[in-house]
A and B are shown apart, each in its own frame.
Chain A
Amino acid sequence: MIGSDTETAILQRMTPPSSAHEQLSQHIESHLGQLYSTALRLTRNPHDAEDLVADTVERAWKGIESLQDPACIGPWLTRIMTNHFISERRKAVHRTPHEEYIEEPEGDEKPFSLFEHLHQPVLLWWGNPELQFLDKLLHEDIEAALGSLPDGFRVVIVLADVEGLKYREIAQTLDLPVGTVRSRLARARTMMQKCLWQHALDKGLVEQPPIEET
Chain B
Amino acid sequence: MSDTPRKLNCDEAIRLLFEFLDNELEQHDHAAVEAHLHDCRACFSRMEFDKRLRGMVKGPEKANVPETLRQRIKKISDQF
C-alpha spacing A167/B19, complex, angstroms = 10
Q: Is the CB of A161 within 8 A of B79?
A: no
C-alpha spacing A146/B48, complex, angstroms = 20
Q: Which residues 44-76 in B have Cβ within 8 Å of A in the complex?
A: 45-46, 48-50, 52-54, 56-66, 68-70, 72-73, 76
A142: B residues at CB distance < 8 A: 56-57, 59
CB distance from A104 to the nearest CB of B (A): 16
Q: Is the CB of A161 within 8 A of B64?
A: no
C-alpha spacing A71/B4, complex, angstroms = 39
Judge if B24 is at the interface, Cβ distance under 8 Å.
yes
CB distance from B21 to the nearest CB of A (A): 10
B70: A residues at CB distance < 8 A: 32
Q: Is the CB of A57 within 8 A of B76?
A: yes
Judge if B77 is at the interface, Cβ distance under 8 Å.
yes
Give the segment of A5-13, A80-88, A182-190, A204-212 that binds chain B: A182-190
**Which of B42, B73, B79 contacts A53 (CB under 8 A)?**
B73
Q: A162 and B59 in contact (CB under 8 A), knowing A32-B65, A54-B76, A119-B45?
A: yes
Size band of the interface chain B makes with A? 20 to 34
**Which of B18, B53, B79 contacts A114 (CB under 8 A)?**
B53
B49: A residues at CB distance < 8 A: 114-115, 118, 130-131, 134
Q: A33 and B59 in contact (CB under 8 A), knowing A57-B76, A119-B45?
A: no
Q: Is the CB of B58 within 8 A of A134?
A: no
A192: B residues at CB distance < 8 A: 57
Q: Is the CB of B69 within 8 A of A137?
A: no
Q: A33 and B64 in contact (CB under 8 A), knowing A57-B73, A115-B50, A161-B54?
A: yes
Judge if A58 is at the interface, Cβ distance under 8 Å.
yes
Size band of the interface chain A makes with B? 35 or more
Q: Is the CB of B24 within 8 A of A167?
A: yes
C-alpha spacing A62/B14, complex, angstroms = 46
C-alpha spacing A39/B79, complex, angstroms = 23
- Given A119-B46, A134-B49, 14 further pairs, Cβ under 8 A: A33-B62, A40-B63, A50-B72, A54-B69, A61-B79, A61-B80, A115-B49, A128-B45, A137-B56, A142-B56, A162-B57, A164-B58, A189-B18, A192-B57
19 pairs across A/B with beta carbons < 8 Å?
Answer: A32-B69, A33-B61, A36-B69, A54-B72, A54-B73, A115-B45, A115-B46, A115-B50, A118-B49, A128-B45, A134-B53, A142-B57, A142-B59, A162-B57, A162-B58, A166-B22, A167-B22, A167-B24, A182-B24
**Closest 9 A-B residue pairs measured CB to CB?**
A33-B62, A37-B63, A61-B80, A115-B49, A161-B57, A115-B46, A50-B69, A130-B49, A54-B72
